[in-house]
Structure 1
Amino acid sequence: MKILAPDVEQAVAASEDIFGRDLFGDGLLKVFDLSDDPLVVALDEPWGSGKTVFARRLASRARDQKFKVVYFDAFKHDYDPDVFVSLASQIIEETGIRPKEKKELKAKAKDVAKIVGLVAIKGAIRGLTAGVVRASDFEDANEDVANEVGKEIEAELDKIIDSRLESAKTEQRAFEVFRQTLSTLMSTGDSDKPLIFIVDELDRCRPTYALSVLETIKHLFSVKNVHFLLVCQLDQLSAATRKMYGSEIDASLYLEKFVHFRVTFPQFEKREKDRLLKRFVLDVLKAMPDDDESGRLKDGFAEFISLVWERGEYSLRRIERLCTLFGLCLAFTNKKTIRHPALIHILCDLKLSSPMLFAKAKTGTLNYLDVKNFYRFSDDLDKRNNKLDWYSLNWRYFLSSTEELKGMDVSGFRDSSFYYNIEREDVVRFLANNIVERFAFPT
Structure 2
Amino acid sequence: MIVADNETAVDLLYYEAIARTVVRLVNEKSDEPLSVGVHGDWGAGKSSILMMVENMFSDQDRVLCVRFNGWLFQGFEDAKAVLIEMIVEELRRKRPRSQKVTEQAKKVLKRVDWMKVARRAGAYGLTLATGIPNPETIKDLGTAARSLMGKGAEDVSPETFAGLVESSDEFLREVADDNAPEQMHAFREEFAELLEDAEIDRLIVLVDDLDRCLPNTAIETLEAIRLFLFVPRASFVIAADEGMIEYAVRQHFPDLPISTGPATYARNYLEKLIQVPFRLPSLGYAETRIYVTLLLVLNACGEESDEFQNLTELARELLRRPWKGPGLDRKAVDKALGGVPVAVERAMELAGRIAPILADGARGNPRQIKRFINTMMLRLAIAEERGFDDELNISVLAKVMLAERFAPELYDAMARGSASTGASEELAALETVVSAPSAEDSLPDWPNLEWAKQWAAIDPPLAEHDLRPYVFVTRDRRSVFGSVTSLGELDELVAKLQGTPLQVRQAAAEIARLQSIEAEQVFDALRAKVRDADDLTQEPLGVKGLAEIARQHSFLQQPLLSFVQDLPISKLGPWVVTGWASVFSEPEVASEFSTTLKGWAKQDDNKPLKAAATAAMKLTNKREQT
Give TM-score scaled by structure 1 length. Answer: 0.70
Contact 1:284–1:323 (8 Å) recurs in 2: no
Match of 2:296 in 1: 282
**Over aligned residue pairs, what C-alpha RMSD do you find?**
3.9
Matched, 1:23 2:38: no
Match of 1:300 in 2: 349
3-state secondary structure, aligned to 1:8: coil
Aligned CA distance change for structure 1 residues 129 and 174 (closer, same or farther; 3 Å):
closer
| Deviation for aligned residue 1:316 | 1.3
Residue 69 of structure 2: which of 69, 73, 98 is its match? Answer: 73
Residues 79-132 of structure 1: CA deviation (Å, up to 9, x unaligned): 111223311222123241344244234312232122211222222135999999
Instruction: Map 1:383-402; keep pairs closer than 5 Å.
Output: 389-391=457-459, 394-395=461-462, 398=463
Contact 2:399–2:458 (8 Å) recurs in 1: no
Match of 1:198 in 2: 206
Residue 218 of structure 1: which of 213, 221, 226 is its match? Answer: 226
Contact 2:74–2:214 (8 Å) recurs in 1: yes
Which has the higher mean CA deviation after the structures are superposed, 255-264 or 335-344?
Answer: 335-344
Match of 2:594 in 1: none
Instruction: Identify the structure with bigger relative contact order (alpha carbons < 8 Å, sequence gap 6+).
Output: 1
Contact 2:404–2:477 (8 Å) recurs in 1: no
| Deviation for aligned residue 1:58 | 1.7
Aligned CA distance change for structure 1 residues 302 and 272 (closer, same or farther; 3 Å):
closer
| Deviation for aligned residue 1:394 | 1.2
Tell me how far apart the structure 2 counterparts of residues 214 and 286 of structure 1 sit (CA, whole Å).
Answer: 43
Gaps of 5+ in 2: 133-168, 259-264, 303-340, 419-425, 431-445, 480-565, 568-626
| Deviation for aligned residue 1:438 | 7.2
| Deviation for aligned residue 1:213 | 1.2
| Deviation for aligned residue 1:174 | 4.3
Aligned CA distance change for structure 1 residues 359 and 297 (closer, same or farther; 3 Å):
farther
Match of 1:345 in 2: 398
Match of 2:190 in 1: 181
Match of 1:58 in 2: 53
Match of 2:99 in 1: 100
Residues 335-389 of structure 1: CA deviation (Å, up to 9, x unaligned): 98333455311222233334444344443378543475335529xxxxxxxxx73
Contact 2:64–2:204 (8 Å) recurs in 1: yes
Match of 1:231 in 2: 239
Residue 168 of structure 1: which of 169, 178, 198 is its match? Answer: 178
Identity of aligned residues (%): 18
Tell me how far apart the structure 1 counterparts of residues 301 and 476 of structure 2 sit (CA, whole Å).
Answer: 21
3-state secondary structure, aligned to 1:330: helix
Alignment size in residue pairs: 367
Residue 380 of structure 2: which of 330, 337, 342 is its match? Answer: 330
Aligned CA distance change for structure 1 residues 371 and 78 (closer, same or farther; 3 Å):
same
Tell me how far apart the structure 1 counterparts of residues 40 and 53 of structure 2 sit (CA, whole Å).
Answer: 16
Matched, 1:82 2:78: yes
The residue identity in structure 2 corresponding to 1:218 is: R
Aligned CA distance change for structure 1 residues 208 and 265 (closer, same or farther; 3 Å):
same
Contact 1:43–1:262 (8 Å) recurs in 2: yes
Aligned CA distance change for structure 1 residues 232 and 116 (closer, same or farther; 3 Å):
same
Match of 1:364 in 2: 417
Tell me how far apart the structure 2 counterparts of residues 217 and 210 of structure 1 sit (CA, whole Å).
Answer: 11
Which has the higher mean CA deviation after the structures are superposed, 361-370 or 113-122?
Answer: 361-370
Tell me how far apart the structure 2 counterparts of residues 65 and 19 of structure 1 sit (CA, whole Å).
Answer: 26
Match of 2:474 in 1: 436
| Deviation for aligned residue 1:72 | 0.4
Aligned CA distance change for structure 1 residues 304 and 57 (closer, same or farther; 3 Å):
same
The residue identity in structure 2 corresponding to 1:97 is: R
Instruction: Map 1:411-426; keep pairs closer than 5 Å.
Output: 413=464, 417=465
Tell me how far apart the structure 2 counterparts of residues 284 and 440 of structure 1 sit (CA, whole Å).
Answer: 29
Tell me how far apart the structure 2 counterparts of residues 84 and 438 of structure 1 sit (CA, whole Å).
Answer: 43
Tell me how far apart the structure 2 counterparts of residues 22 and 320 of structure 1 sit (CA, whole Å).
Answer: 19
The residue identity in structure 2 corresponding to 1:308 is: I
Contact 1:361–1:429 (8 Å) recurs in 2: no
| Deviation for aligned residue 1:209 | 1.1
Greater helix share, structure number: 2
Tell me how far apart the structure 2 counterparts of residues 243 and 84 of structure 1 sit (CA, whole Å).
Answer: 18
Tell me how far apart the structure 2 counterparts of residues 265 and 165 of structure 1 sit (CA, whole Å).
Answer: 44
Tell me how far apart the structure 2 counterparts of residues 348 and 54 of structure 1 sit (CA, whole Å).
Answer: 30
| Deviation for aligned residue 1:271 | 5.9
Match of 2:435 in 1: none
Contact 1:364–1:428 (8 Å) recurs in 2: no
3-state secondary structure, aligned to 2:405: helix
3-state secondary structure, aligned to 2:238: strand
Contact 2:84–2:112 (8 Å) recurs in 1: no
Aligned CA distance change for structure 1 residues 276 and 63 (closer, same or farther; 3 Å):
same
Tell me how far apart the structure 1 counterparts of residues 90 and 43 of structure 2 sit (CA, whole Å).
Answer: 27
Residue 368 of structure 2: which of 308, 315, 318 is its match? Answer: 318
The residue identity in structure 2 corresponding to 1:110 is: L
Residues 165-191 of structure 1: CA deviation (Å, up to 9, x unaligned): 99535x55543333223223435656x
Tell me how far apart the structure 2 counterparts of residues 321 and 206 of structure 1 sit (CA, whole Å).
Answer: 25
3-state secondary structure, aligned to 1:64: coil
Give TM-score scaled by structure 2 length. Answer: 0.51
Residue 32 of structure 1: which of 26, 33, 50 is its match? Answer: 26
Tell me how far apart the structure 2 counterparts of residues 178 and 345 of structure 1 sit (CA, whole Å).
Answer: 57
